Structure 1
């Protein structure tokens, strides 16, 4: 699986408009924290159960992608969920999977705040919210 910084992911997505950009966060994160424009929302797990259903996730990504050969770029809050999700896609036969390091909100700083060290929003990349 490839790893992109947020800026590298943005550049890759601009150069590869055929790539499927997937946000794997929960719906509440996607809606209220914000998300990149044009990203497809397919949660890795969802509240309140917080249980991963790999088969469901892979099926939904395949439905959106149309083919396991289509490039897929994964985004989550901090770059952790995307590793598990990407491994599940690769195990299911996806051949071009990448994930965004530091995710949408970035790593936690010394005050337990996100968005101050790195991440999609920190890097000034396009995003929107409800």
Structure 2
């Protein structure tokens, strides 16, 4: 798996229109915190029990289509940790071009335990929307 900063991921997505951009945060995060423009939602894990979604790989395969093994997949979560785990699962399932967005959508915590103040997709001013 390759790791891209948010800006690198944005540039990669712009130059690779066939890439699939997956936001793997919870449904509530995706809907209420916001998400990158163009990102499709497939939860890696979700409440109330926060167990790993047993259908994650299958759902991504369905979105990726018949060329799922060779299609680039870019994953983003809140801070880059869940998306790295999800990327490992995709690689084990045969995906060959998996990219993780480091620092994720909201970025690392600052000294006051706030996000989006140090790094991440929103901090970098990249396109995002809220439902």
Q: Give the TM-score band, short-chain normalised.
A: over 0.9
Gaps of 5+ in 1: none
**TM score, norm. by length of structure 1:** 0.97
Structure 1 runs of 4+ off > 4 angstroms? none
Structure 1 residue 7 displacement after superposition:
0.2
Structure 1 residue 95 displacement after superposition:
0.3
Report what 1:27 is aligned to: 27
Residue by residue over 1:51-109, the C-alpha shift from the partner in whole angstroms, topping out at 9 and shown as x without a partner, is: 003x4100000000012211000000000001110000000000000000000000000
Gaps of 5+ in 2: none
Q: Provide the rounded CA distance (Å) in 2 between the counterparts of 1:46 and 1:80.
A: 14
**TM score, norm. by length of structure 2:** 0.96
Q: Which has the higher strand share?
A: 2
Count of equivalent residues:
129
Aligned residues: CA RMSD: 0.7
Q: Provide the rounded CA distance (Å) in 2 between the counterparts of 1:120 and 1:108.
A: 14
